[in-house]
Amino acid sequence: MVSGIGDFAVRSKDAKQQVFFSYKSIEDRIPQDHPIRTLKVLVDDILARLSPEFDRLYSHTGRPSIPPEQLLRALLVQIFFSVRSERQLVEQLNYNMMFRWFVGLNLDDDIWNATTFTKNRDRLLEGEVSERFFAEVLATAKKQGLVSQEHFTVDGTIIEAWASHKSFQRKEESGDDDDNTPSGDGGSRKNPDVNYKGQKRKNDTHESKTDPDARLCRKSQRTGAQLGYMGHALMENRNGLVVDVRVTHAAGKAEQMAAASMASAIKGKHRVTLGGDKGYDSDELLGELRDMGVTPHIAKNDHERRTSSIDNRTTRHDGYDVSQKKRKLVEQIFGWGKTVGCLRKVKHRGLDLVKSITTLNMAAYNLIRIRNLMRA
């Protein structure tokens, strides 16, 4: 006999019978202090405001689709809980009660198959729903006084595309006569090994056959090239919330052009500041910002035999030092998107879909920030 057990309790039977009815709902099984509850309240309120938009997007006749509210909640679950694929998401919706509760499914509701989910997801994201959802999330933050209207920071990152180097092949209309067909080096018939060593591949003459919108790019000279897009985020400095997000082709001046575009979209007649890392230190961008009435608080890039475009007129003010400290917050945005969210390597093809899923990731980030600020 095991000491301390047999003397005080009767052993219960290991019953195998299934319970067909339960007096507890899924709602009762979610802890009252679970952080997902606050997120659901925020999301449900936003989706209620978007309901008229959904009515305009969908036809009143034809085959019923997945409700857009459930579809958006499912995509947010995938982002919040780092579910790596939609097939795995659909699988977990079958047995994860908390996922079902958040999406709005009962225990007896059938789960969609992955193909149906993907088709409905593409149809929804093509309707600019992500942008409208992001705008409503931002409106919620503004209503609670969480958004600064004066001080901002910009950042950009490479978002790896769902395409391999093998798909980056010569354009059919390219006039280059050099034969850059990769040499084979074994492998299977459908997926042969190729060797690009010594061959020049450029975006002007080559494109990905898998995702033609992706571009060959690299973050710096020390990193390898990859097919991807450029993601851009504009953050307000008070609480680190994303107020604008863009996705562009990966090009040499993509970050600076996006920064100027987002700065010009800031509403209001008051003077604002814009912080950024050394990559934004250029005469052209700073000239554009000053013409807009935006004070550039860009980090100085005065090494490697170059002179920074930021001079003492800007750095002598205390606000410049504050902006440099706040600038570190913007690194968390894409860091979160790539470690928790779905931005390390997007499983969507085409600039429009990548922009939509990136915007939805930024909306999810803002929701978590708002929840944390409400609890503080």
> Is the pTM for the entire model greater than 0.95?
no
Determine how many CB atoms are found less than 10 A away from the CB of residue 26.
15
pLDDT tens for 325-358 read 888 889 999 999 999 999 999 988 999 999 999 9
Q: Which fold has domain 148-162+226-347?
A: Nucleotidyltransferase; domain 5 (3.30.420)
Q: What is the token pair recorded at 50?
A: 């978007």
Sign of CA dihedral 73, 75, 79, 82: positive
Long-range contacts of 267-272 (CB under 8 A, 24+ apart): 268/149, 270/149, 270/150, 271/150, 271/295, 272/149, 272/150, 272/151, 272/152
Mean pLDDT of 120-145: 92
Phi, psi of 155 (to 5 degrees): -150, 155
Read off the pLDDT band of 96 (50, 70, 90).
Answer: very high
- The mean pLDDT value of the chain amounts to 85
**What pLDDT does 41 receive?**
95
**What pLDDT does 335 receive?**
94
pLDDT of residue 185 exceeding 90, the answer is: no
Residue ranges of the domains in the chain?
26-125, 148-162+226-347
**What pLDDT does 194 receive?**
59
**What pLDDT does 28 receive?**
83
pLDDT tens for 233-259 read 999 999 999 999 999 999 888 999 999
